[in-house]
Amino acid sequence: MSKMKYSRNVMCEVMRVVPPQQGTFKEFLTDFTYAGYTIPKGWKVYWTVNTTNKNSKYFRDPEKFDSSRYKDGEAPAPYTYVPFGGGRRLCPRKEYAWLVVLTFIHNVVKKYKWEVLSPKENVLGDMVPMPEKGVPIHLHPY
């Protein structure tokens, strides 16, 4: 796994551009004031991952896919790259997810050439982005 730096960088950028979860709700335990607005205790606010992952304050040219953002172990500022959450809400199976994703990618890339059958497939917006047809592909063994 430690030798798969390029693959990990590519997957970091994939998850920045299309995060595994779109966002989350936060219920306020006390009244909260932000930018002149007061949010009463008990109200829920929906925070979207894309508003953070595509913020030009933290990511140069945020709409561009650029896996070199993570080269040499450079890490974005805390809480600016959050596909697995952060702080107390960090996904407890994050490292297992990395293992599964990188193992899958490694085997598919080394053993197959793949062809996406519906290249303009819609992605349905929900808490978790889901391709409309499930991304049908045709694998061609090398």
Tens digits of pLDDT across the chain (142 residues) = 788 888 889 999 998 988 877 788 889 999 989 899 999 999 998 888 888 888 999 999 999 999 998 887 677 888 888 888 788 878 888 889 989 999 998 888 889 998 999 988 888 876 677 888 888 999 999 8
Encoded tokens for 109: 């890339």
Q: What are the structural domains of the chain?
A: 5-141 (1.10.630.10)
Q: What is the pLDDT of residue 30?
A: 95
Q: Tell the burial category of 53 from Cβ atoms under 10 Å away from its Cβ (0-12, 13-18, 19+).
A: buried
Note the pTM of the prediction, 2 decimals.
0.76
**C-beta neighbour count of 15 within 10 angstroms:** 19
Q: Are 104 and 137 in contact (CB under 8 A)?
A: no
Q: What is the pLDDT of residue 126?
A: 66
Q: Return the closest-CA partner of residue 79 out of 68, 92, 70, 88.
A: 88
